[in-house]
Amino acid sequence: MNTTPAGGAIRVGDWKLVVNGRKHIIEDEVATAEKGEGKQSFELFNLAEDKSEKKDVSSSHPKKLKQLRERYEVLAGQAVKPKSGGKPKGFKSPAVWGEGR
């Protein structure tokens, strides 16, 4: 189980549910920029058949999607909210991120 305010994932056996994964980034890019938020998206993977998580099987396994989604939501509701508040005022990313010396 991994959860953040922006998304997360849960694995049960060979099944993995990803909340707001790649699909969310692509579909909601404009909505997120305009509204400051996007809708939740869900991707379901059968890791026994798809170790690389390339084929979303959520539409062909609706019962499994519902089961993992309910379990994820219960556990995510119990998670402690992160204390980080984003980047400090005035923070600028370096032009090149390199190894520390």
pLDDT-derived band at 33, boundaries 50, 70, 90 = very low
For residues 88 and 14, the model is more confident at 14
Q: How many domains does the chain have?
A: 1
Quick check: 32 and 20 in contact, CB under 8 A? no
**Residue 85: inside a domain:** no
* pLDDT higher than 60, residue 25: no
Half-sphere exposure in the Cβ direction for 2 (13 Å, CA): 11
**Residue 95: inside a domain:** no
**Residue 99: inside a domain:** no
C-alpha–C-alpha distance, residues 63 and 2, integer Å: 21
Per-residue confidence (pLDDT) for residue 15, from 0 to 100: 98
- Domain of 10 in residue numbering reads as 2-78
C-alpha–C-alpha distance, residues 93 and 101, integer Å: 18
* pLDDT higher than 90, residue 49: yes
**Residue 97: inside a domain:** no
Q: What is the model's pTM?
A: 0.66
Per-residue confidence (pLDDT) for residue 21, from 0 to 100: 66
| CA nearest to 21, candidates 52, 47, 44 | 44
pLDDT-derived band at 24, boundaries 50, 70, 90 = very low
Q: Which residues pair with 9 in a beta bridge?
A: 2, 18
C-alpha–C-alpha distance, residues 48 and 11, integer Å: 12
* pLDDT higher than 80, residue 10: yes
CATH number at residue 66: 3.30.1120.10
